[in-house]
Amino acid sequence: MDVEKVFHMTGGVGETSYSKNSSLQKKASDMVKHITLETVEEVYLATKPKSIGIADLGCSSGPNTLSNIKDILDKIEGTSRNIFQQSAPEFRVFLNDLPTNDFNSIFQALPEFHHWLKQKGNDHENRGTSKIYVAAYPGSFYGRLFPDNCLHFIYSSYSLHWLSRVPRGLYDEQGNSLNKNSIYISEHSPSEVSKAYFNQFKEDFSLFLQSRSDELVNGGKMVLILLGREGFNHVDRGNSFFWKILYQALQNLISKGDVEKEKLDSYEVHFYAPCKEEIEEITRKNGCFEVERLEMFEIEKTIGKGMSYGTMVAMTVRSIQESMVAHHFGEAIVEGLFKEYGRLVDEEMAKEDIRPITFLLVLRKP
């Protein structure tokens, strides 16, 4: 399966879209927003550019994208006004995701964004609207995207746990899966499976770091938010457990005749939840960046719109995984699969809490 051609968040603004089901990601980015904005300010004060280059990698198509840009723009404008007593620099904003991303939704929201800029400019005496130029950069961030030394700040939220491909090492010489009782790393997986996943993450993350180092100016920084795990054990009641539940939901559809066992045996996800030690090791060996912060946190579990936590998780996972599931199993199973998935999440939560881990990583190019 060519991940770059198939994988994308569900576009549009419908009930199952990523735009309507990304509140968990928004909550996480808001929890660490003060660190993101502090980092942006530090870069601006250190480099003092007349034109500042900012990239959002894995921007997707929901409301979170332009909301993040608004916060960053506000922070830099405030710093310019309060410290330098001058107008803000011009902003070059690059929004990146895979070519299958719904970039149209982002650009349809730009007129409202520019109206907000104009209104904000009118709220301050003797200050015009900031010059901001927004462009889409479709393509995989596992490789070069931008010219040398053109960026000052890079932001990526909930993207780097997605691998560039399903790891090659998951299959034998005949192309058969070594992980037939799981779709990710589980207690049933042979040791080769976790090694294959880690090796793919190491390859991808190293390439990501090298590419971004070429594109950032000296003193430029990155804020990266990604899913992970606590400690070296892959099997826990964290992010890996959500994949175990999805596998169980697919198994339940086999018993109903909705999914073929052979189809399930050949399905693997292109995901990896690293631990803190793995992130540190890869970054150190790569040598392109200094680690300024590496913090672990959990999102507070809240329920809205009269739905259960399991239903909320199922809607979120569906908005992310529907393209992959439909491509492999067919669209007919999607509705029933995620209904069953939500039921199983609620069932498990009633037994014991599920604790997905998120990492915040701040890196500086020396």
pLDDT digits (tens, 9 = 90+) for 87-103: 889 999 999 999 999 99
Residue 222's CB: how many other CB atoms inside 10 A? Answer: 25
Query: What secondary structure does DSSP assign to 236-295, as a single string?
Result: SSSHHHHHHHHHHHHHHHHHTTSS-HHHHHT----B----HHHHHHHHHHH-S-EEEEEE
Can you give the pLDDT of all 366 residues of the chain as single tens digits?
789 889 999 988 888 999 888 888 888 899 999 999 999 999 999 999 999 999 999 999 877 788 899 999 999 999 998 988 888 899 999 999 999 999 998 888 888 888 887 777 656 544 445 789 999 999 999 999 999 999 999 999 999 999 999 999 999 988 889 998 999 999 999 999 999 999 999 999 999 999 999 999 999 999 999 999 999 999 999 999 999 999 999 999 998 989 999 999 999 999 999 999 999 999 999 999 999 999 999 998 876 667 899 999 999 999 999 999 999 999 999 999 999 999 999 999 999 999 999 999 999 999
Tokens at 219, concatenated: 């003193």
Distance CA 364, CA 243 (A): 33
Among residues 345, 324, 253, 280, which one has the least CA distance to residue 100?
324
pLDDT score recorded for residue 304: 63
Chain mean position to CA 42: 24
- Output the pLDDT for position 126: 41
d(CA 340, CA 280): 37
Q: How far apart are CA 278 and CA 110, in angstroms?
A: 39
CATH architecture of 3-365: 3-Layer(aba) Sandwich (3.40)
Closest CA to 336 of 326, 346, 351: 326
Q: Measure the CA angle with vertex 43, ends 53 and 112; round to 5°.
A: 45
Question: Phi and psi dihedrals of 143, rounded to 5?
Answer: 145, 175
Give pLDDT, residue 288: 97
Residue the block writes with tokens 């560039």: 164
257-268 confidence digits (pLDDT tens): 899 999 999 999
pLDDT for res 195: 97
- pLDDT value for 40: 97
The domain limits of the chain are 3-365
Q: In what order do the strands lie in the sheet with 216-228?
A: 132-138, 90-97, 51-57, 151-157, 216-228, 357-364, 290-297
3-state secondary structure 293-360: EEEEECCCCCCCCCCCHHHHHHHHHHHHHHHHHHHHHCHHHHHHHHHHHHHHHHHHHHHCCCCCEEEE
